[in-house]
Amino acid sequence: MTQSSGGGGGGGGVHHHLNHHGLCCLSAAALPAPDAPPTPEPEAGGAAVAVAGVLHKWTNYGRGWRERWFSLHDGVLSYSKIRRDASAAADEDGGGGEVRLIGGASARIGGARRPDKPVGVVCLKLSAFRESKSDDRRFYIFSPTKTLHLKTDSKEDRVAWIEALILARSFYSLRSLSGRITFVQSDVSVSTARLRNRMQQEGLNESLIQECEQIVLTEFSSFRKQLKLCYEDQLSLFGSCRHHFEEGKDASIIQGALTRNDFSSSRHGNFSEYSTTESDEFEKQDGGDLTCEDESTYFDAADYFIEPNDRSSAMLSSTSCSEGLLDIQMEDSSHLLPQIKRRSKLPEPTEKERGISLWSIIKDSVGKDLTRVCLPVYFNEPLSSLQKGFEDLEYSHLLDQAYQHGKMGNSLMRILKVAAFAVSGYASSVARPCKPFNPLLGETYEADFPERGVRFFAEKVSHHPMLIACHCEGKGWKFWGDSNLKSKFWGQSIQVDPIGVLTVEFDDGEIFQWSKVTTTIHNLILGKLYCSHHGTMHIKGNRQYSCKLKFKEPSLLDRNPHLVQGFVEDDDGNKPSFLIGKWDENMYYSNLDTSKVKSVDQLKGAVLLWEKNKPSPNPTRYNLSSFAITLNELSPDLQDKLPPTDSRLRPDQRHLENGEYEKANAEKLRLERRQRMSSKLQDNGWKPRWFQQDGEDGTYRFKGGYWEAREHGQWDDCLDIFGEFSET
């Protein structure tokens, strides 16, 4: 592209803006000259781009690629379904103006078939577009509300469409700027009096002095023109956001959606296969309004798309769905949630911890139920089993993402995220040498984390068998379940077999259920203490997909511990996706069979689903994560709102957290004596306060009322389970 010389030299900024795209080879004649008068409204066959043709649009996995009639006119791209009738072709491109057709398939739209009414529109002023690197016929258009995945019949057709899109949006932007941006003329004048006086002192003649004055004035005029062009070029980046700032709106939301995502331009690397099963609501309607919201904008993606720098943004297969744009949208909305400062470390212990004799405890406990063994407080961590239930929701954002994927019609990506969530609950168990406190009958725990968009509640609903029920509400989903842990000492190890079903239900009615696998704690007497999780986890869905995950059992010769492998299966027995990872590190998915490999490093093209958070910068002897450190925090304002049954108010647990070990041990013995009375309470008809059972052997379900009682401070019917008691 050429650049004008002389006074118009500053126009290169506009030309550079159009030259971001490698396929753009437009002449400078297509643009208005810097000193030209305001651009008039274009006619159909004038400078404005008016093109049309058939493109293949991706709909979903069930319907695949569908032909749609696309029309580009006056900065707006609309698309329609194609009817199969004998009507004459509809003149839907602007009433008599000349329209250039792209592609041989467009000629088929004639007497036998014609475009329907527009069912979707994209305003180019609000959009960005990219071509695929792996398929020379594909390209993508990003708008604030949707992502269009398009495919042409040939490479040449894609070049023509991209050039038309660039020219249309550039012309549209310049036309809108010409009517909105004005260069404020300054009253500052340039005086040549000093120059004239100096030249007269040198004895120069009048004609030479006038010629020099004219040169100075000409150069100043040229500089002023360049300054004006530079001013307009800079404002072009923000001109379309003007209404946002005037109305106090946050324009950075949309800009951030492009600057923080993992996709790159065709000049910067692995954009390639961004495939999705996005459910386009316009496709389900008979028609739509040609509207364009001028208050929102996407900046040019060539300026803001960044280079992906990790494995999670690697090329995706055509059967996968990139989560990049979806996750960005959720990150953008997170700024609307309240930001709450939570603690990052435990209190400093007030006492020095003393050692204990393991032999005297273990020899009397072999073969017994762990819940009936009275262990000193030194074996505990300052968390209850109720709080551990919420710790499994540390990565609840995976369910947020699963909800969004399903909302977009991508059921496969939804179950992959659910599977990653089911595995992520084990990540915090690495190097956790201590056991949580067994709750008292009727003990409760609440976790209100508005910064995460979740609200959790749990209650111990039965003493024998020991059952804990929980319920959590998130952004578009609910999670609930109950658990009964059967545990036994086997001398050198403890085996814990969880019994119970966990359920996730999304707001659209899709449900997934699974049970946890077996956990074994090794080397109680000799060697380094560690835990392992092993067994098969079946995640059953009520719609198209289910999932099977195998937690590998450790062995002495195992060089790849903590391995998890699995697959997603549909109702017909097909396996559209496979999973691999480690329960203490990460999980990936791929369209390749992962059962043949031992680690994700041996699998090309795997895409990251979940990764464990970094360890706490303030480690404790319990090896709690940053998230776990916050669970037992008790601020004065929170204490006033809690019922007397909340785990944070349990005295032995509180003393242990504060490092008051003697007091903690004494309180633990006192509360365990009181706990023995729980069987009598249960036999006398005691019922859970906040949960009820679905049938005689059904799951305990939250019956509501807790958060309403919390709001009004109505805890009169809650027992003081941590207080003193009399056995008489």
Cis peptide leading into residue 617 (ω within 30°)? no
User: What pLDDT does residue 114 have?
Assistant: 56
What's the CA gap between 525 and 491, in Å, rounded? 8
Mean pLDDT of 418-444: 92
User: What pLDDT does residue 372 have?
Assistant: 57
pLDDT for 508 beyond 90: yes
Mean pLDDT of 656-660: 94
What's the CA gap between 692 and 689, in Å, rounded? 8
pLDDT for 1 beyond 70: no
Lowest mean pLDDT among 314-323, 549-558, 680-689, 710-719: 314-323
260 domain residue, yes or no: no
User: What pLDDT does residue 551 have?
Assistant: 95
What's the CA gap between 207 and 210, in Å, rounded? 5
pLDDT for 654 beyond 90: yes
What's the CA gap between 677 and 669, in Å, rounded? 13
Written as one string, the DSSP assignment of 491-557 is SS-EEEEEE--EEEEETTS-EEEE---EEEEE-SSSS--EEEEEEEEEEEESSSEEEEEEEPPP-TT
User: What pLDDT does residue 704 have?
Assistant: 93
What's the CA gap between 574 and 546, in Å, rounded? 11
601 domain residue, yes or no: no
Lowest mean pLDDT among 276-285, 536-545, 717-726: 276-285
pLDDT for 291 beyond 70: no
pLDDT for 262 beyond 60: no
CA nearest to 576, candidates 589, 586, 563: 589
Mean pLDDT of 596-607: 86
417 domain residue, yes or no: yes
Amino acid type, 102: I
User: What pLDDT does residue 358 have?
Assistant: 57
Percent of the chain with pLDDT strictly greater than 70: 68
Q: Which residues are 118's β-sheet partners?
A: 80
Contact present, 313 and 270 (Cβ < 8 Å) = yes
User: What pLDDT does residue 115 have?
Assistant: 63
Q: What is the CATH number of the domain that holds 476?
A: 2.40.160
Residues 564-582 have pLDDT tens digits of 999 999 999 999 999 999 9
More confidently predicted of 524 and 40: 524
CA nearest to 181, candidates 227, 232, 228, 224: 232
34 domain residue, yes or no: no
User: What pLDDT does residue 13 have?
Assistant: 42
Token pair of 272 as six digits: 């390639």
User: What pLDDT does residue 676 have?
Assistant: 77
User: What pLDDT does residue 28 have?
Assistant: 34
Angle between helix 397-407 and helix 324-333 axes, rounded to 10 deg: 120
Number of domains in the chain: 2
By 3-state DSSP, what share of the chain in percent is helix, strand and coil, each rounded to 5? 30, 25, 45
- In our burial notation (b when 16+ CB lie closer than 10 A, e otherwise), range 498-527 reads bebebebebeeebebbbbbbbbbbeebeee
Give a three-class secondary structure readout of 102-141.
ECHHHHHCCCCCEEEEEEEEEEHHHCEEEECCCCCCEEEE
Model's pTM, two decimal places?
0.57
User: What pLDDT does residue 384 have?
Assistant: 96
User: What pLDDT does residue 97 have?
Assistant: 53
CA nearest to 24, candidates 171, 143, 135: 171
525 domain residue, yes or no: yes
**In 338-485, which residue ranges form alpha helices assigned H by DSSP?**
358-362, 385-391, 397-407, 411-424
Angle, alpha carbons 343-345-351 (nearest 5°) = 130
Q: Which residues are 569's β-sheet partners?
A: 546
Residues 626-645 have pLDDT tens digits of 999 999 999 998 999 999 99
What's the CA gap between 222 and 230, in Å, rounded? 12
Token pair of 440 as six digits: 């008292």
315 domain residue, yes or no: no
User: What pLDDT does residue 270 have?
Assistant: 32
Q: What is the CATH number of the domain that holds 107?
A: 2.30.29.30
718 domain residue, yes or no: no
595 domain residue, yes or no: no
pLDDT for 251 beyond 50: no
User: What pLDDT does residue 299 have?
Assistant: 33
219 CB contacts (<8 Å, ≥6 apart)? none
Name the 3-class secondary structure at 641.
Answer: coil
Lowest mean pLDDT among 108-117, 159-168, 214-223, 652-661: 108-117
Q: Domain ends where: 178, 193, 225?
A: 178
What's the CA gap between 722 and 667, in Å, rounded? 9
User: What pLDDT does residue 543 have?
Assistant: 94
Q: What is the mean pLDDT of the chain?
A: 75
Q: Which residues are 624's β-sheet partners?
A: none
Confidence of residue 48 (pLDDT cuts 50, 70, 90): low
pLDDT for 314 beyond 70: no
User: What pLDDT does residue 545 have?
Assistant: 96
Q: Domain ends where: 144, 178, 212?
A: 178
Residues 532-549 have pLDDT tens digits of 999 999 999 999 999 999
Name the 3-class secondary structure at 68.
Answer: strand
Residues 134-192 have pLDDT tens digits of 888 999 888 877 788 899 988 888 998 888 888 877 766 555 544 444 444 444 567 88
Lowest mean pLDDT among 90-99, 238-247, 505-514, 551-560: 238-247
Percent of the chain with pLDDT strictly greater than 90: 34
Longest Cα pair distance anywhere in the chain, in angstroms? 124
User: What pLDDT does residue 374 have?
Assistant: 64
Domain coverage including residue 431? 379-534+632-702
Measure the N-to-C terminal CA separation of the chain; round to a whole number of Å. 97
User: Residue for token digits 């019917």?
Assistant: 717
